[in-house]
Structure 1
Amino acid sequence: MNLHQRINAFTKLGAFLSQFTTPEAVKNETVDYNELFFDGFKHQLKLAKEHNGWFTQKNLIFALQGWAQSLTPSQLEQWLKEYNFDAVSPQQVAIIMAGNIPLVGFHDFISVLISGHAVLVKQSSNDKHILPYLAKYLEQVEPEFKGKITFTEGKLKDFDAVIATGSNNTARYFEYYFKGKSSIIRKNRNSVAVLTGNETEQQMQDLSEDIFRYYGLGCRNVSKLFLPKGYNFDAFFNAMFPWNDIINEHKYANNYDYNKAVYLMSEFKMLENGFLMIKEDESYSSPIATLFYEYYESTEALQDKLKTEAEQIQCIVSKGFIDTEIPFGKTQKPELWDYADDVNVIDFLLKI
């Protein structure tokens, strides 16, 4: 199976997913194998929602929209154009996936397969319904994928390299357990936004997307703000208001109530608007329904700080602050060539 065949297979998968990017799935009669997979995938999405309360219909649709837009010939070819896969010696690559947001490990999955390797997947129990079904679709549209995709719930065996995503604690276990293997091991990271107080209304509204999408559960979600001294929060809270219905989601509301009670009992100073709390804190990882903030004295000092603490940071959202910044509203809309932890997975896969 050559690269063209693999790109063609993932393009067909993208077309299949595009049918599920609205509240009512709309069947496209030109999509291959719909008679076998369309109704079944609707059922898998239903199971995913029932199994994980954070996987609401809105969040599932958002994730599928992103992948449908990425899995097109132009996007796939732009992603892969600088690489030569002709000399790849197929290996078995294990992937240990997180389960915080829908299909969070899908980029690793397609990277392994499109590079010409076989994949051994250990999924999170929080996100176990969607990917195996999509794997079956891939095997149908490109039979040469059969035998190259394996899922396991047990101990990983017989693999040559590993990509593992987890917490700082599990990363220590991964580093020990996989010390003899080529590996990418990801730890906790969070995203930040650097504000000046001169942001436009639209930029602030876009920032709300970076904060609230997926309830803030993703490493690309903004969990902390860096603010100039004397920052006026009025524009910030006004821009957050359109997300006020999020408090009607019971899992989010439970976290909001719990964390608010903890802060009040501990007499921590905070600001809140009925569905979001903001608290001055030097940490990067804020609880659900909470956003941390920290004041900065100068742009130069903050740039130095974030460079020093880069291993804790996934994305920096800003305008004109740093070369690697992410535009407001784009953290949960990565391109195929935007790699987690800034580690190029395709480069890694070409060298194993």
Structure 2
Amino acid sequence: MTLQQRINAFSKLGTFLSQFSRTNIAQKEGVAHNDLFFDGMKHQFKLARENNGWFTQENILFALEGWAALLTEEKLSEWMSGYNDAFAKAQSQKTVAIIMAGNIPLVGFHDFLCVLIADQNVVIKQSSNDKHLLPYLAKYLEYVYPAFKGRISFTEEKLPAHDAVIATGSDNTARYFEYYFGKKPNIIRKNRNSVAILTGDESEEQLKALGEDIFRYYGLGCRNVSKLLVPEGYNFDAFFKAIYSWSDVMNDAKYANNYDYNKAVYLMSLFDLLENGFLMLKEDESYGSPIATLFYEKYESKESLDLKLSQDADKIQCIVGDNEKLQDFKSLIPFGKTQKPNLQDYADGVDTIAFLVSILP
């Protein structure tokens, strides 16, 4: 398969996924293999939800909307511009093992896309928390372009022979990964969290959008904001008012149970809390806050904040803020956009395509 054929295959997948959105699930004319896959895709939502209570249909469809928007011929071609010669010169394919997390729907899809569009073989060890959606999409790709058959495999056992590894997990599992895979070319990802910098001058619209960064996927993703960085004397009233539209999150029993449990622990420990009935704010220097909790930390100056973020760069996935008010900070993500990354937004800032090019024979 040429690079253009691989781009075409994934753009057809994007067209297929565009039929599934939070506002409407309906077949479109001319979508390849709809007769075989459309109804089955809806069944996958049910299976995913039964397997993982955090995978609501709302959040599954949000994830599919994101991929449908990215998997277009234009965006894939722009992303891959400059790589055609590197892929064409490869003498043979390598086999890349991907060990995936399962915290949010299709969290490992970007790695899967990178390996296949780079014309490499892939063997996937999925998390038990997210094991239904990706195999179904892989089967769709095999129908769209049969050349993918035999190049995509899934395993629940020990990984078969492979040449390189992309593994995502916690700080603890990363040590395991480094021990077992350290001698092979690898990308090994550890715990990371995302933060938002507030100045006190944010608009109501910006703070409402920040709610999306906090509550989407119940805050379980590494791109979810789990901590606020606020100036001394910051008043949280406007923040609490702006995020009230997310109060329905308490209707989910799993979230509500976490809220009640963590609140009880904090109160018994005599921690000072700010809370509004569905989110607790706790002053804490850590980055990874529990479900239904948001940590916050005060800063004295933008200079001291910049130093802190630089020192803790290996703990941070995304930094959210107002680019106009915080011009000294690089790579700020606008409010409400953390869960809508571009194809070039690589996890931990490590260019997966460049890594794959580096292992080509």
Shared fold (TM-score, shorter chain, > 0.5): yes
Question: How far 1:83 sits from its partner (Å)?
Answer: 2.2
Structure 1 residues 68-90: Cα deviation after superposition (integer angstroms, max 9, x where no partner): 00000111111111323222341
**Kept in 2: contact 1:23–1:61 (CA 8 A):** no
Contact 1:206 1:328 in 2 (8 A): yes
Deviation at 1:25, TM superposition (A): 1.9
Residues in 2 aligned to 1:18 and 1:63: alpha-carbon distance in whole angstroms: 11
Counterpart residue number, 1:32: 32
Q: Aligned partners of 2:96 and 2:76: how far apart in 1? A: 21
> Any gaps of 5 or more consecutive residues in structure 2?
none
State the alpha-carbon separation in 2 of the partners of residues 293 and 277 from structure 1: 10
- How many equivalent residue pairs? 352
1:21 and 1:62 in contact (8 A); partners too: yes
Equivalent residue runs for 1:75-86 within 5 Å:
75-84=75-84, 85-86=87-88
Residue in structure 1 matched with residue 252 of structure 2 by the alignment? 249
Give the aligned residue type for 1:123: Q
Shift of 1:22: 3.2
Question: How far off its partner does 1:157 sit?
Answer: 1.8
Q: Aligned partners of 1:128, 1:186: CA distance in 2, in Å? A: 20
Is 2:64 the counterpart of 1:64? yes
Q: Within 2, Cα distance between the matches of 1:294 and 1:287?
A: 16
Q: 2:307 corresponds to which letter in structure 1?
A: D
Q: Does 1:324 align with 2:331?
A: yes
Counterpart-to-counterpart distance in 1, 2:135 and 2:56? 19
Residue 142 (str. 1) matches residue 145 (str. 2): yes
Kindly, what percent of the aligned residue pairs are identical? 68
The alignment's TM-score, normalised by the length of structure 1, stands at: 0.99
User: What is the distance in 2 between the residues matched to 1:312 and 1:242?
Assistant: 29
Question: Which residue pairs with 2:242 in the alignment?
Answer: 239
Q: Give the alignment's Cα RMSD to 1 decimal.
A: 0.8
Please state if 1:127 is matched with 2:130. Answer: yes
Paired letter, 1:15: T
Matched, 1:114 2:121: no
| Alignment correspondent of 1:262 | 265
Residues 134-174 of structure 1: CA deviation (Å, up to 9, x unaligned): 11100000010001100000011210000000000000000
Q: What is the CA distance between 1:276 and its match in structure 2?
A: 0.2
Equivalent position of 2:19 in the other structure: 19
1:306 to 286, 306, 309: 309
| Equivalences for residues 166-181 of structure 1 within 5 A | 166-181=169-184
- 2:263 alignment partner, SS class: helix
Partner residue in 1 for 2:358: 351
AA aligned to 1:342 is: G
List structure 1 segments (4+ residues) > 6 angstroms apart after TM superposition.
none
Equivalent in the alignment of 1:41? 41
- For the 8 Å contact 1:252–1:289, the answer to whether it is kept is yes
In structure 2, the residue corresponding to 1:144 is in which secondary structure? helix
Cα distance, 1:39 vs. partner? 1.1
**Deviations along 1:45-101, whole A, 9 cap, x unmatched?**
110011111000110110000000000011111111132322234100000000000
Which residue is equivalent to 1:184? 187
* TM-score, length basis structure 2: 0.96
Structure 1: gaps of 5 or more residues? none
The one of 201, 215, 220 equivalent to 2:218 is 215
1:24 shift after superposition = 4.7
SS at match of 1:19: coil
Which segment is superposed worse, 136-145 or 37-46? 37-46
Report what 2:345 is aligned to.
Answer: 338
